[in-house]
Amino acid sequence: MKMPSPLHRGRLVQRYKRFLADIVLDDGREITAHCPNPGSMMGLKDADMTVWVSPAANPKAKLGWRWDFARRSDGILAGINTNVPNRLVKDALAEGRIAEIAGYPDHRPEVRYREGSRVDFLLSGEGRPPCYLEVKNVHLMRSPGLVEFPDSVTARGAKHMGDLAAMRAEGARAVVLFVVQMTGATRLSLAADLDPGYARAFAEARSAGVEVLAYACRIDDPDAAGGEIALTHRIAVEEA
């Protein structure tokens, strides 16, 4: 998918109240941008970090800017918008670029199932069991090359793993796909120290037959015109 255009570079002052970020743009303007990320954003909210924002698409939006990308001091570039992974997966499914789940002609987003849950995509095709696909956003890296999920406690995420295990028990296919919005990733593990409950639910679901995939992203230079972000290749997932 295309990066937002235009992107404006700046310096992060602070991220606060989860959805707000004060930023000083390179041209000297001081702005407050919407932060489209409810997680802890560990490692991606340090003061003076280089960030990129885009003008709000809706002229009536309360905040005139949206925070899209951040570059850490070690050069790692990350997309911080948690809405992006589902869009990346939608594009990749349509183009058959996720080999492990290719071949399903129908990809329905946001389908209700189980009690109070929605699955990100329900894949279906004649002669094949339905495939329940849950997409997770990843942008935590505490050791070089190793990305981790989650970056904070996610009871909702643990419930999703139980829901997938239940569908697998009913004969459906169930897959969790971790989308790594971060450069430099070579493998993925669970941050059990941050959320032991999710780690347990993940291990139980995997034992029940839920498939686990992790895909890295290519993130073009936000300063270059016409940049893109896209799923590129599968990376290893370490045992919980």
Summarised one tens digit per residue, pLDDT across range 168-200 is 999 999 999 999 999 999 999 999 999 999 999
Measuring CA to CA, how many Å separate 65 from each of 6, 11, 22, 148? 11, 14, 10, 28
pTM: 0.95
Task: Report the C-alpha gap between 213 and 185 in whole angstroms.
Answer: 14
Residues 227, 146 share a domain: yes
The per-residue pLDDT for 59 is: 73
The per-residue pLDDT for 62 is: 85
Task: Report the C-alpha gap between 4 and 71 in whole angstroms.
Answer: 16
> CA-based Rg of the chain, rounded to a whole angstrom?
18
The per-residue pLDDT for 56 is: 87
DSSP secondary-structure letter at 35? Answer: -
**Contact (Cβ atoms closer than 8 angstroms) between residue 103 and residue 207:** no
Q: Is residue 126 part of a domain?
A: yes
Residues 23, 59 share a domain: yes
Task: Report the C-alpha gap between 68 and 94 in whole angstroms.
Answer: 24
Residues 199, 172 share a domain: yes
Residues 140, 102 share a domain: yes
Q: Is residue 123 part of a domain?
A: yes
Q: Do the strands 30-34 and 20-25 form a parallel or antiparallel pair, or are they unpaired? A: antiparallel
Residues 218, 164 share a domain: yes
Residues 218, 151 share a domain: yes
Among 49, 74, 99, identify where a domain stops: 74
Q: Is residue 79 part of a domain?
A: no
Number of domains composing the chain: 2
Task: Report the C-alpha gap between 193 and 197 in whole angstroms.
Answer: 10
Q: What is the pLDDT along the chain (240 residues), one digit of tens a residue?
A: 999 989 999 999 999 999 999 999 999 999 999 999 999 999 999 999 999 999 987 777 789 999 999 999 999 999 999 999 999 999 999 999 999 999 999 999 999 998 889 999 999 999 999 999 999 999 999 999 999 999 999 999 999 999 999 999 999 999 999 999 999 999 999 999 999 999 999 999 999 999 999 999 999 999 998 899 999 999 999 976
Residues 99, 57 share a domain: no
Q: Is residue 97 part of a domain?
A: yes
Give the structural domain span for 32: 8-74
Reduced to 3 states (helix: H, G, I; strand: E, B; else coil), residue 93 is helix
